[in-house]
Amino acid sequence: MDPRDDEAQRTMEQHALRNVRGLVDNLEKSEAAARLLQKRLMLGIVAAVVVLGLLAATGVIPLGGGEQRELVVKPAAPAR
């Protein structure tokens, strides 16, 4: 075989490997961004549940079970 052919083959292989490495790097970045988004979403959900729990515990949000009162509505006076 001609040494120039070997060198050309080696150059093409190195170029292909760099392309594959670039694709792997992009995939890893994408997966890392997805993991970060998932962590932030979970943190937001947990924070919302904690806030709602605190509001319910302090009585700002009534959970029922309290005293029930009857509401009486008087009929309106007839129009003249």
Reduce the DSSP state of residue 8 to 3 states and report it: helix
Q: pTM of the prediction? A: 0.59
pLDDT at 66: 65
Could you report the per-residue pLDDT of 12-54, keeping only the tens digit for each?
999 999 999 999 999 999 999 999 999 999 999 999 999 999 9
Q: Which two tokens stand for residue 68?
A: 């029930």
Residue with tokens 């009162």: 69
Residue 23, pLDDT score: 98
Q: Which residue has the higher pLDDT, 64 or 7?
A: 7
State the sign of the Cα–Cα–Cα–Cα dihedral 11, 13, 16, 22.
negative
